Amino acid sequence: MKWILSRKLTIREMLLFLFMPAALAAILICGGISYLLINRQLQDNTFSNAIDITTQLQLNLNYRLEDIYEKYEAFLKSESMQQLLNGYPQPDQLQEQINSLYNSRSQMLDSVLLAAKSPKGSFILFQGQEGSVPSAISEETMICSTQISELVPGEIYWANLHEDALLDRTVPARTTMIYSLFREGDVSVLLVFQIREDFFRELLAQARITEHGYLSLLSVDGEMVFKEIGPDSSLIQKDLDAILSGTAKRYFTTKSANGKQLLVINKPLPPTDWKILAVFPEKEIMGAARYIKYIYLYSIVMIIVLTFALSNLFAKVFSRPIQEWIKNVQSAERGRLDVTFHDNNCKEIAVLNDGLQALFQKMKQMVQQIEDEHKSKRELEIAILQAQINPHFLYNTLYSIQQLYGMGENQTASKMVGNLSNFFRLSLSKGREIIPIRDEIEHLKSYMEIQQIRYDQITYELSIDERLMDKNIMKLTLQPLIENAISHGLFSARRGHIRVKGRWAADTKDDIVFTIRDNGSGIPQEELDKLNHALETGDWNSLPSSYGIKNVHQRIQLYCGPSYGLRYESELNKGTVVIVRISSHLKESALEASES
């Protein structure tokens, strides 16, 4: 590596040196990530499939068992059942009801049995499979290891798969059941619905998860499973107890009786207190990943070989036209912005040539634009200096001061001198173009105080939001507009009044809006349209005398952007409003930053 870095490399060597490690790293990383993602996806798909099968089984069983449960409750609430509990049995009606119920659900029900005992006599009603009859039933008869006498009256029980002991059958059978005991005085009634084993077998045995996985129904009185389970797949009693108690998670991993890793999915099965279990070895999820690993390794080797061959060919072909391109770029680097790039047979290099040609042309235009903007700025700065020392304003003010001293109005003359001094001090602003709004308002006050002394019929009002005072503004933005209002609008008014208002813009908190309103003669509509058109388009040919307005508007746009500036509203013989919009983010270096 040190030898490679210490010597000069050709473009072809450099491309191979840089591209091959990057390509190999990308291949290995992408291949590894792809392998992990595919492996993970296979595991997720297998696990999701198991969850879907379990969920579908849950829905099917829940639908069927809910139906049986509703039939069971409907039978208990029937009129004939209530008469039986009240001591007025109607066996014929009950038998007819049992026959109808059994016939409507014979695909699920193995039998329906009702055993009643009352002072008026005892009887057993039954409907079920052929070859089965009720056994003798008494208080000592066992149902799932519990005597009938020990059952809680009124409570509905569910029994898992067990050998049926209530019926005498020619062929032994296993069933599940829903049953309950009812007592009303001397009357006791046992109602049993037995559900066929085949019903559960069809649902559990047909649902295949993995080769050694299985589905079962777990309850406190046993586990219903229709697949032979070895020690490698069977759950230990601790896990079974946790599932039944509800402390186990819906999805968890555990170890079998032989220490094999198992994945377990458990879901409740209402209306029973049973649980649906899906159990399968974790290694079966990983089975498909082994094949992916071999395919991945073989593919990686082939891709590396192909990448090396293509990289070598690519470097050889690409290095030829690039030498020609480098010579053209070096020529441009010597400062020739008008450099010409010749056509090249390579399309990609031709695109680069065209792009660089356009880039240098754009740079040339930008240099010219910057020079033009600097020229405009200098012209505006000269105009500002000229406006700052308006000879007419200065002559008239000094003449007024002389007249005041001649009339003995020394205090008023002194005040006027102070305002004039303050006016020019703020105009200069130590050479700064951007000043706080507070200084601009003070400058405006000095100007208006001078004008009020000269013209006692002029009054003014300032309403500036205090939050704006520390924001920035270009100096001499407001004063030229007020001077224009006094010169062209207020002399015809018997009592001239100017109101200056400064607020945050209503449409955005990033802008500041000043309004300068006077009660002068107004502007004729034609002249107003020309003025606003010039403000919008920059065409001032039709308004050569509006130099002050143009100056202020162009300075605002130069510092803030084309969306800022002035807008006029006016109504003849009622007055004029100037709307000034500036940015609230003005800084002293705003123009220089914009040019950069």
How does DSSP assign 261-318, residue by residue? Answer: EEEEEEEEETTTTEEEEEEEEHHHHSHHHHHHHHHHHHHHHHHHHHHHHHHHHHHHHH
Domain 78-199: give its CATH code. 3.30.450.20
Dist. CA 551–CA 400, nearest whole Å = 28
How many H helices and E strands in the chain?
16, 21
pLDDT by residue for the chain (596 residues), tens digit each? 444 445 566 666 666 666 667 777 777 787 777 767 776 777 677 778 778 888 888 888 898 999 999 999 999 999 998 988 888 888 999 999 999 999 999 889 999 999 999 888 889 999 998 888 998 888 888 888 888 888 999 899 999 888 888 888 888 888 999 999 999 888 999 999 999 988 888 888 777 777 778 888 898 888 888 778 888 888 888 888 898 888 888 888 898 888 888 889 999 988 888 999 888 887 776 665 666 667 777 777 787 778 777 777 766 666 666 665 566 566 656 656 666 666 666 676 677 777 777 776 777 777 677 777 776 765 666 455 445 545 556 666 676 677 667 776 677 777 778 777 777 776 666 667 888 999 989 888 888 888 888 777 888 899 999 999 999 998 888 988 888 888 776 755 557 899 999 999 988 888 999 999 998 888 899 999 999 999 998 888 878 777 778 888 988 888 888 899 999 999 988 889 999 999 988 875 544 434 43
pLDDT at 426: 66
**Closest to 427 measured CA to CA, from 486, 396, 386, 461:** 386
pLDDT at 1: 47
Q: What mean pLDDT value characterizes the chain? A: 80
Model confidence pLDDT, tens digit, residues 404-450:
677 766 777 777 787 777 777 766 666 678 889 999 898 888 888 88
pLDDT at 592: 43
Peptide bond into 271 cis (omega under 30): yes
- Distant-in-sequence contacts of 137-141, Cβ < 8 A, 24+ apart: 137/166, 137/190, 141/165, 141/166
- Distant-in-sequence contacts of 293-298, Cβ < 8 A, 24+ apart: 293/35, 296/31, 296/34, 296/35
If residue 88 lies in a helix (H) or strand (E), which one and from where to where? none
User: CA distances (Å), 577 to each of 31, 167, 419, 440, 477, in order?
Assistant: 71, 105, 26, 19, 15
**The one-letter amino acid at 14:** M
255 CB neighbour count, 10 Å cutoff = 13
Both tokens assigned to 425: 């001090």
Model confidence pLDDT, tens digit, residues 140-177:
888 888 888 889 998 999 998 888 888 888 888 889 99
pLDDT at 588: 58
**Closest to 438 measured CA to CA, from 468, 478, 477, 480:** 468
Find out whether 126 and 109 touch, Cβ atoms under 8 Å.
Answer: no
- Distant-in-sequence contacts of 75-84, Cβ < 8 A, 24+ apart: 75/101, 75/191, 76/180, 76/182, 76/191, 81/189, 84/116, 84/118, 84/187, 84/189
Q: Residue 218 pairs with which residues in a beta bridge?
A: 223, 275
Dist. CA 349–CA 468, nearest whole Å = 56
Dist. CA 82–CA 80, nearest whole Å = 5
Any residues with CB less than 8 A from the CB of 275 and at least 6 apart, and which?
Answer: 217, 218, 219, 243, 244, 266, 267, 268, 269
580 CB neighbour count, 10 Å cutoff = 22
If residue 462 lies in a helix (H) or strand (E), which one and from where to where? strand 458-464
Any residues with CB less than 8 A from the CB of 384 and at least 6 apart, and which?
Answer: 475, 476, 551, 555
Radius of gyration of the chain, Cα coordinates, nearest whole angstrom? 50
Same fold, 78-199 and 208-285: yes
Model confidence pLDDT, tens digit, residues 571-596:
988 889 999 999 988 875 544 434 43
pLDDT at 115: 92
CATH classification for the domain delimited by 208-285, as one of 1.20.1410, 3.30.450, 3.30.70, 3.40.50: 3.30.450
pLDDT at 385: 47
**The one-letter amino acid at 247:** T
pLDDT at 346: 65
User: CA distances (Å), 550 to each of 526, 534, 576, in order?
Assistant: 18, 9, 17
**Closest to 297 measured CA to CA, from 43, 27, 23, 20:** 27
Domain 389-595: give its CATH code. 3.30.565.10
Domain ranges of the chain: 9-66+287-326, 78-199, 208-285, 389-595
Q: What angle do CA 32, 35, 37 make, to 5 degrees?
A: 110
